[in-house]
Amino acid sequence: MASSRYDVLGIGNAIVDVIARAEDDFLLRHGMHKGGMALIDEAGAQKIYGAMGQAVEISGGSAANTIVGAASFGARAAFVGKVKNDALGWVFQHDIRAAGIAYDTKPADDGPSTARCFVIVTPDGERTMNTYLGAAQDLHPEDVEAEQITAAAIIYLEGYLWDPPHAKEAFRKAAKIAHGAGRQVALTLSDAFCVDRYRAEFLDLIKNGTVDIVFANERELHSLYQTADFDTAVKALRADARLAVCTRSEKGCVIVTREHVEAVPAHPIKRLVDATGAGDLFAAGFLFGLARGVDHRSAAKLGALAAAEVIQHIGARPEVSLKSLAQQSGLPV
């Protein structure tokens, strides 16, 4: 296999997060499912924004957060995702490039505005998301350039991409090009409600080898296999996936391969502030470790470290160098 220019390239929704704290009754008043993600239209976006308290705007998007996290470890990283040529689009482009990430997707000059995700953080640190996909859903196969895909050791795709039809085509195109070049393809299931919508298709992607690495949390895994029993779901996953990691919040994670299942503890934290981005940043550390050739357990420890950093402050991107944190913890970087 040829050497790679990038350790990891992410393809996902280019979104600006609008984050605010609220009590649980705010979720009830607006019909939100706690801990989940719902898609909304522009009118819904305006209604929620008007009802929210003081908010913080931070560039986000699941795969974009992962790629920023990987770059914080020192990974050579790239991202593909669509914004509009508007104020929020400029914010997104600036932020991702400022993180040292190659980002060349051409912004749209017309059509829907740049995507935004309204993140409501309740006192327990749980995040509930309402997403207006806007320009992000206009990601097309022509936005995926073969030269960039073949230049990356690992291609990372988010399950949320399965909602817009053209983005789904871009997803499949990227996976085919990557495998043709001997690269690996990773998928995060993204959200239990997303799995509910596309369970059969996600299972097919895993079983037929379209994806080589799967990331899921407990809720997503239970939804994927329609069982409330964790061990039953893991057994099914072991039969289907080549490599998978299931995150379990404070219980750590479980690495699943055809050969074995291994539990890795969570990294200790002082205080849970905001769970937004925990799974995204776990994937960042794990993918960075894989790209650098460390064993699965060490990769999971890097993921746990990154997740621990991000949940101790508001926002889904690291506030300090993850490479420095890893060095201080004696982890390989």
Tens of pLDDT along 203-254?
Answer: 999 999 999 999 999 999 999 999 999 999 999 999 999 999 999 999 999 9
Lowest mean pLDDT among 73-82, 112-121, 239-248: 112-121
Would you say domain 6-12+61-86+134-324 falls under CATH 3.30.750.24?
A: no
Residue with tokens 């795709």: 157
Q: Would you call 229 helix, strand, or coil by DSSP? A: coil
Output the pLDDT for position 2: 59
Output the pLDDT for position 32: 94
Q: Which two tokens stand for residue 147?
A: 């030269």
Q: Which two tokens stand for residue 134?
A: 């806007």
Q: Which residues contact 224 (CB under 8 A, 6 or more apart)?
A: 189, 195, 199, 202, 203, 216, 233, 237
What is the number of alpha carbons within 13 Å of residue 135 lying toward its C-beta?
A: 27
Edge to edge, the sheet with strand 37-39 lists 37-39, 127-132, 115-121, 15-21, 56-60
Q: Which residues contact 206 (CB under 8 A, 6 or more apart)?
A: 187, 214, 240, 241
H runs (alpha helix) in the chain = 24-29, 42-51, 62-73, 87-98, 146-150, 165-180, 192-207, 218-225, 230-240, 278-291, 296-310, 322-328
Q: Is the pLDDT of residue 193 over 90?
A: no
Q: What is the mean pLDDT of the chain?
A: 94
Question: Angle at which helices 192-207 and 218-225 pack, to 10 degrees?
Answer: 60
**Contact between residue 58 and residue 5 where contact means Cβ atoms under 8 Å apart:** no
Report the pLDDT averaged over residues 77-83: 96
Q: Would you call 170 helix, strand, or coil by DSSP? A: helix
Q: Cα–Cα distances in Å, from 55 out to 49, 93, 107, 147, 244?
A: 9, 20, 25, 39, 35
Output the pLDDT for position 3: 73
User: Residue 129 corresponds to which amino acid?
Assistant: M
The model carries a pTM of 0.91
Report the pLDDT averaged over residues 100-117: 94
- CA–CA dist 217, 325 (Å, integer): 24
Per DSSP, what are the bridge partners of residue 127?
A: 121
Output the pLDDT for position 161: 86
Question: Angle at which helices 62-73 and 87-98 pack, to 10 degrees?
Answer: 30
Q: Which residues contact 301 (CB under 8 A, 6 or more apart)?
A: 264, 267, 285, 329, 331
Per DSSP, what are the bridge partners of residue 152?
A: 6
Residues 251-271: pLDDT tens digits? 999 999 999 999 999 999 999
- CA–CA dist 267, 306 (Å, integer): 9
Report the pLDDT averaged over residues 142-164: 93
With CA atoms as reference, report the closest residue to 190 among 6, 47, 15, 51: 15
With CA atoms as reference, report the closest residue to 2 among 150, 156, 211: 150
- CA–CA dist 225, 232 (Å, integer): 8
276: pLDDT confidence band, cut at 50, 70 and 90?
confident
What is the C-alpha R_g of the chain?
A: 18
With CA atoms as reference, report the closest residue to 306 among 317, 292, 295, 298: 317
Q: Which residues contact 11 (CB under 8 A, 6 or more apart)?
A: 63, 79, 80, 81, 139, 144, 155, 156, 157, 158, 161, 170, 171, 174
159: pLDDT confidence band, cut at 50, 70 and 90?
very high
Output the pLDDT for position 144: 95
Report the pLDDT averaged over residues 14-18: 92
pLDDT above 90 covers a percentage of the chain that reads 83
7: pLDDT confidence band, cut at 50, 70 and 90?
very high
Structural domain boundaries in the chain: 6-12+61-86+134-324
